[in-house]
Amino acid sequence: MQAYESARNAQSKIIADNPASIVITRITRTADSAGGWSEATSTLSAQTVRIYAKNKRVLDNASGGFVTKKVSKMLALYNANIESEDETYLDKFTYDGKTYKVNYVENVTMQGYTVFKEVEIEEIVS
């Protein structure tokens, strides 16, 4: 077994320790001929992930120092169908009564292979 395969198995076990089943609604934006955008919405198959909170140190320009900010994150399998928010995609899902959007997806790699995805998510407050 290759090292990247072992790492994939380890991440799969971490996700299975505290799994969350989510269904992503993906909004795909396409430029139209009038200079605007058209949007299409699709619903993806259910995916098992792990959702957790993490403290992150960020620079606060007002105080000139670092502050701790709580962020929501998600671990997903290497082949999960999740996209970072950009001009083309917006992924959203609901879990535990809260709606989230995907901000950023980082493909964590080893030996040139994606091992898992670390995803920064944000609760949408209406």
Q: Report yes or no: 76 and 117 within 8 Å, Cβ to Cβ.
A: yes
Alpha helix segments (H runs only) across 18-68 = none
pLDDT at residue 99, as a whole number: 96
| Domain residue limits, the chain | 3-123
**3-7, 11-15, 59-63, 111-115: least confidently modelled range:** 59-63
Domain covering 3-123 assigned CATH 3.30.390 in the classification: no
Q: Does the pLDDT of residue 52 top 80, yes or no?
A: yes
Q: Report yes or no: 22 and 95 within 8 Å, Cβ to Cβ.
A: yes
Say if pTM beats, i.e. exceeds, 0.85.
Answer: no
Q: Does the pLDDT of residue 58 top 80, yes or no?
A: no
